[in-house]
Amino acid sequence: MAAVQDGQMELDAEKETKPEILSDGTSNLSGNTASGTLSSSPLTAAPAGGAPKMEDQQTLIAVLQFLKRNKLTDSVEILRREAGLGEDQEDSQATDGSGGGKGDVDGGDANSLLSRVSITSAAAPQSMPVKRADDQPDVSVVLSAYSQQGDPSLYQVYYSGLKNFIESVLDCHRAELSQLFYPLFVHMYLELVYNNHENEAKAFFEKFSGDQECYYQDDLRVLCGLTKKEHLKGNEVLLDFRTSRFVLRISRDSYQLLKRHLQERHNNQIWNIIQEHLYIDIFDGMPRSKSQIDSMSGSLAGEGRRELNKAKVFHGLLKEPEIEVPLDDEDDEAENEEGKPKKKKTKKDSLGSKSKKQDPNAPQQNRIPLPELKDSDKLDKIMYMKESTKRIRLGPENLPSICFYTLLNAYQGLTAVDFTDDSSLLAGGFADSTVRVWSVTPKKLRKVKSAADLNMIDKESDDVLERIMDEKTASESKILYGHSGPVYGVSFSPDRNYLLSSSEDGTVRLWSLLTFTCLVGYKGHNYPVWDTQFSPFGYYFVSGGHDRVARLWATDHYQPLRIFAGHLADVTCTCTRFHPNSNYVATGSTDRTIRLWDVLNGNCVRIFTGHKGPIHSLAFSPNGKFLASGSTDGRVLLWDIGHGLMIGELKGHTDTIYSLKFSRDGEILASGSMDNTVRLWNSMKAFDEVETDDFTATTGHIHLPDNSQELLLGTYHSKSTPVTHLHFTRRNLLLAAGAYNSQ
């Protein structure tokens, strides 16, 4: 049963990966059918099959043009052959010049884009980094949509006319149609600005900005400073607002109502905007209530499209094939180990309510090639088993003890913290570009001896691993120098041999915890890298940065294996987390959305909207079914990954939530925040109370109970220490870390 991996698996890993990626990339480029839904006619709820084909072709042509410009003739040939495009087609498109959005990729990335990267979501071509000086033509293309203009003085009339209409309709429709206000407002304002009607734009803004929902304040602030056409070009936030269609979810009845109204009034201006810049996702059934809408809205680009969340996600856990074997050996050796593996199994079953055999939701064991377990890893697994048998079963009556690791004298500014899984090491990233590693057990940190000294060691001795360590270097902490900017993310590898750090200088660095030196600097992000994390199985890691993409790396590749692009606007992937089965990666962003990416093919399989502020923390539940996210608005949202639904809202924090962690059994969710508190939530109850009947599953219209207070199990204050990181030890002791803030 246990799928023991071959010895050469690891060796093959690289070979296996590459062809996969290649094929993925091509398949995506050639037939981006599943997700390429940029329908030209927004009136149809489900896009026709032909439209995306067309769109894809345009994209391809854009890429071809780019390649040509960069004299990459071979690539052009290959691409043309594979895509089956004729030269004439391309030319006609080129002269046409209105090819929707053209992906523009950095020269350095062009190859990687073609060879390894999969461009996945529909918006991908448009949302590639648009920063070069030479993308000015493209920008103007994008903006030119605004050039069609009506009488600027009538804009206010149009808008207030629509406002009056919406306010006069039946209550059940009003809430839904009110969603139109914000995108219409933004687009009309931008049109005015684009057409140099500065005064009208200002007046328009002043008159109607007060009507918008409060959670759009941040965007309105950006908008309001923007009054010149020249400014539009540089402002990436608005550029992305333009290029991506704002998604609205409206019931068919409401939509018919709106359509009839606009046609009666011949209100073409608004109709044009709706057609061109909005994507209206029409569903059949009851209109949604105001609270339902509010809970899902707030993102920069509206709600996630329903069909985008339909993809199958293998959220089950991988079987742990290797574990039973060594543990059984252990049993033979030592009787007192008897029964432990069974215990472990039952525990897991009760958690995920999975069958003992194969979780139907679990991905194929080798869906993602995983590194083979080394002997030391097996030993560690056994240790983990032993520890987990001593684990305290948590619950509402049995709350965890909290240990607080306070970093004192951190005047340089603590920016990131991570614990090893066995809670023996603590790493801190600091604003002064250093990474510090502490041992939080009595065991000191030691370096490996120098090469000359290593030669003198008897390599056959049993304690060779001990002998290679240099006692003279033993100390409680070590400082790692190498970055040239604040370190925003740190992550230990599961085997505790490596440490990753991501920094403002655009690099991710891999450090050895044996020599305490830097091994690799991964350059790929062109902008600050906000976060990085190792896969739960090691080898892979993901990083997310200011350049709006998350990248998947393998430690032995200096270039990324995947680029996850799709986050919008001036988006920064603020936090990146691996799914426990390592097949998915979740990223949160300042565009107030969370996306779940498939590591295998780079597709975006889930978009979660509902946060009203940038997302700063994410956590998968141990059984892989749920996701928790925390943002600057102080709310924690819970998501059901399988159904793609929001299932809970935890209110209580008063400041940005920088850390989230589920207890080892998933019963308790701990959240740490800038407001100097740790809060514990009854996540079991939150998950249990979800009614996932067919209707909500299909429509995604969940009605959230407001039960934050019931779910809140405790609030624990530190004196003046923001909680930067939380960690549950293997025995379910909660560790918190933060820097004491004397001000």
Partner 1 sequence: MTEREERRFAEVPRESIKLMAESTGVELSEEVAALLAEDVCYRLREATQNSSQFMRHAKRRKLSVEDFNRALRWSNTETVCGYGAQDALPFRPLKEGELFFVEDREINLVELALATNIPKGCAETMVRVHVSYLDGKGNLEPQGTVPTAVQSLSEDLLKYYQQITRAILGEDPHLMKVALLDLQSNSKIAALLPYFVYVISGVKSVSHDLDQLNRLLHMVKSLVQNPYLYLGSYVRSLVSSVMYCILEPLAASINPLNDHWTLRDYAALLLSHIFWTHGDLVSGLYHQILLSLQKVLSDPVRPLCSHYGAVVGLHALGWKAVERVLYPHLPAYWANLQAVLDDYSVSNAQVKADGHKVYGAILVAVERLLKMKALSLTLAAGGGSADLPGTTTGAVGFRENSPGLSPPPEPLSEPPLGIASHLQAGGAGCQWEEWTPVSLPAMYCELYSFFGDSLAVRFSTDPPLGGAPSSRSCQPLEGRKEPASGAPNLENTRKMPQLTASMNISPRQDGSPRMEPQPPSLAATVSGRSLARSSSSSSSVSRSRSSSSRPGRSTSQSRDIFPKARFPLPQAGPPAFSFIIGGRQMGRRCQGRRFQTSFTPTPPLNTLPPRAYAHKLPVIGRVSKPVRRWTCSHYSLHLPL
According to CB under 8 A, which one of 21, 124, 184, 226 is a site residue for partner 1?
Answer: 226
Does the footprint of partner 1 cover residue 436 (CB under 8 A)? Answer: yes
Per-position b or e across 310-336, b if 16+ CB within 10 A of its CB = eeebbbbbbbeebbbebbeebbeeeee
> In a 3-state reduction of DSSP, which class is residue 310?
coil
Q: Does 216 bind partner 1 (CB under 8 A)?
A: no
Please check whether residue 660 is in contact with residue 670, taking contact to mean a CB–CB distance below 8 angstroms: yes
In terms of Cβ atoms closer than 10 Å to its own Cβ (0-12, 13-18, 19+), residue 432 is: middle
Enter the tokens of residue 110: 């062009």
Q: How far is the CB of 200 from partner 1 (least distance, A)?
A: 14
Pick from 104, 504, 591, 598 the residue near partner 1 by CB under 8 A: 504
Closest contact distance (angstroms) between CB of 193 and partner 1 is 12
Question: Looking only at residues 619 through 638 of this chain, which bind partner 1 when binding is defined by CB under 8 A?
Answer: 632
| Cα radius of gyration rounded to whole Å, the chain | 27
Instruction: Tell me: does residue 500 bind partner 1 (CB under 8 A).
Output: no
| Shortest Å distance, C-beta 685 to partner 1 | 16
For 380, the 3-state DSSP assignment is: helix
Pick 219 or 495: Cβ nearer partner 1? 219
User: Binding residue for partner 1 (CB under 8 A) from 105, 645, 674, 726?
Assistant: 674
Select from 514, 498, 576 the least CA-distant residue to 542: 576
* Position 192 contacts partner 1 (CB under 8 A): no
Interface with partner 1 includes 736 (CB under 8 A)?
yes
Q: Which 386-415 residues touch partner 1, going by CB under 8 A? A: 398-415
In the numeric block, the tokens 């029964």 are attached to 339
Check binding of 431 to partner 1 (CB under 8 A). Answer: yes
Using CB under 8 A as the binding rule, whether residue 179 contacts partner 1 is answered as no
Give the tokens for residue 662: 């589920």
| Closer residue to partner 1, CB minimum distance, 159 or 165 | 159
What H or E segment, with its residue span, contains residue 239? helix 236-243
159 binds partner 1 (CB under 8 A): no
Does 671 bind partner 1 (CB under 8 A)? Our answer is no
Task: Give bridge partners of residue 100 from the DSSP assignment.
Answer: none
Judge whether 363 and 583 are in contact, CB under 8 Å.
Answer: yes
Say if CB 385 and CB 323 are below 8 A apart.
Answer: yes
* Residue 421, phi-psi category: left (phi > 0), alpha (psi -120 to 50), beta (remainder): alpha
The residue count for binding partner 1 (CB under 8 A) is 69
Please check whether residue 270 is in contact with residue 277, taking contact to mean a CB–CB distance below 8 angstroms: no
Minimum distance from CB of 742 to partner 1 (Å)? 11
Residue with tokens 């750090």: 501
| DSSP secondary structure of 47-90 | PPSHHHHHHHHHHHHHHHHHHHHTT-HHHHHHHHHHHT--HHHH
The closest alpha carbon to 688, from 670, 676, 705, belongs to: 705
Find the shortest distance in angstroms from Cβ 401 to partner 1: 5
| Shortest distance (Å) from residue 294 CB to partner 1 | 24
Counting contacts by CB under 8 A, is residue 574 touching partner 1?
yes
The residue assigned the tokens 């299909």 is 698
Token duo for residue 679: 């809060």
Q: Any idea what DSSP says for residue 400? A: P
| DSSP category for residue 197 | -
Regarding 488 and contact with partner 1 (CB under 8 A), the answer is yes
Q: Is 456 in the site for partner 1 (CB under 8 A)?
A: no
Nearest Cα neighbor of 674 from 739, 625, 728 is: 739
The residue type found at 713 is L
Nearest-approach distance from CB 555 to partner 1, in angstroms: 24
Residue 72 contacts partner 1 per CB under 8 A: no
Distance, CA of 730 to CA of 732 (rounded, Å):
5
* The only residue of 103, 152, 298, 486 in contact with partner 1, by rule CB under 8 A: 486
Nearer to partner 1 by Cβ, of 262 and 426: the residue is: 426
In whole angstroms, the minimum distance from the beta carbon of 564 to partner 1 comes to: 19
Question: Measured from the CB atom, is 384 or 740 closer to partner 1?
Answer: 740
The window from 171-179, 524-532, 552-560, 581-589 that contacts partner 1 (CB under 8 A) reads: 524-532
Distance CA 539, CA 536 (A): 9
Let me know how long the chain is.
743
CA distance linking residue 370 with residue 321, whole number of Å: 12
Tell the smallest beta-carbon distance from residue 525 to partner 1 (Å). Answer: 12
Using rule CB under 8 A, residue 206 touches partner 1: yes
Nearest distance from residue 650's CB to partner 1, in Å? 17
Which range of residues in 78-86, 425-433, 644-652, 688-696 is near partner 1 by CB under 8 A? 425-433
673 scored as a contact of partner 1 (CB under 8 A): no
Name which of 282 and 726 has its Cβ closer to partner 1. Answer: 726
Question: Is 303 or 504 the residue whose CB approaches partner 1 more closely?
Answer: 504
Query: Please, which residues have CB within 8 angstroms of residue 478's CB and are 6 or more apart in sequence?
Result: 436, 437, 445, 516
Check binding of 724 to partner 1 (CB under 8 A): yes
Q: Does 221 bind partner 1 (CB under 8 A)?
A: yes
- What is the smallest separation between the CB atom of 82 and partner 1, expressed in angstroms? 37
Q: Which residues bind partner 1 (CB under 8 A)?
A: 205-207, 209-210, 221-222, 224-228, 230-231, 234-235, 398-415, 426, 428, 430-431, 436, 438, 440, 477, 485-486, 488, 504, 527-528, 530, 546, 570, 572, 574, 590, 614, 616, 632, 656, 658, 674, 680, 713-714, 716, 718, 722, 724, 736-737
